[in-house]
Amino acid sequence: MQIEFQQPANHLDLGCGMNPKNPYGQANLFGIDIRDDTQELLKQKNITVAKANLALEKIPFQDNFFSSVSAFDFLEHIPRQIYMDKDREIIYPFIILMNEIWRVLTPGGKFLAITPAYPSESAFVDPTHVNFITKDTHKYFCGKQPGARMYGFQGEFIARTVKFSAPSNYQSMPPDVLRSKVRDLLRKFSRTGFQYLVWEFEAVK
């Protein structure tokens, strides 16, 4: 007799600030932020927030705890490489974070990321943006032999969506097809053009 894995109705929003996102409409919303003032204030809204610096710390939740994770305007703030002078070693925070996202997701769990991306100026203009995402960066984390395996990535994702699009299309999942097409058409012919890259990955375990 085969036992089916029950998906927990938990969602985690990374870098949640005071307005955690819940694009998949899960019953239980969790957040992580580096700020000190989020935990008590959001507890009043039945939102659990953990304080953590995800450039240096792991996600403080157990394996397979979330059926979805989101990162809105967040990945660009995670360094790709840090030299730890005290330990005389190089660590790869972006690789570690992607490992952690995969770890806390259930089998088949979804990861949604919306990030200002190359070649848009918005990817570079903010001095706190230290991780530059391109249309091919996802290949380092997706498939049977992802490129980041050589740097210690242990997970596996399937890329369900990788596209330049208007961020407003993905506030609720799945996006409205007609409205998304209209917004993307307007964005395509606007002065600024497409600025954001959207990832939706599925965790393979």
Provide mean pLDDT across the span 52-80.
97
The pLDDT, as a whole number, for residue 1 is: 40
Containing structural domain, residue 35: 10-203
Q: Decide if 12 contacts 104 (C-beta within 8 A).
A: yes
Residue 2 maps to a domain: no
The larger pLDDT score, comparing residue 155 to residue 88, is at 155
Q: Give the 3-state secondary structure of residue 85.
A: coil
Query: pLDDT grade, residue 191 (50/70/90)?
Result: low
Q: Indicate if the pLDDT at residue 19 is higher than 60.
A: yes
Listed residue (9, 12, 98) closest to 61, CA to CA: 12
Model confidence over 108-134: pLDDT tens digits?
A: 999 999 999 999 999 999 999 999 999
Other C-beta atoms closer than 10 Å to the C-beta of 125 total 9
Compute the distance between CA of residue 24 and CA of residue 129 in angstroms, rounded to an integer.
27
Q: Give pLDDT, residue 6.
A: 60
Q: Is residue 3 part of a domain?
A: no
Global pTM value:
0.92
pLDDT computed for residue 45 by the predictor: 85
Q: What is the pLDDT of residue 106?
A: 97
Q: How wide is the angle at C-alpha 22 spanned by C-alphas 81 and 199, nearest 5°?
A: 45
Using DSSP, state whether 105 is helix, strand or coil: strand
Counting the structural domains of the chain, the total is 1
**pLDDT, tens digit (0-9, with 9 covering 90-100), for 173-189:** 999 999 999 988 877 77
Q: Check whether 43 has a pLDDT greater than 90.
A: no
Distances (CA, A) of 22 to 54, 111, 172, 184: 19, 12, 8, 22
**Domain containing residue 50: CATH number:** 3.40.50.150
Is 80 contained in some domain?
yes
In a domain, 108, yes or no: yes
4 within some domain: no
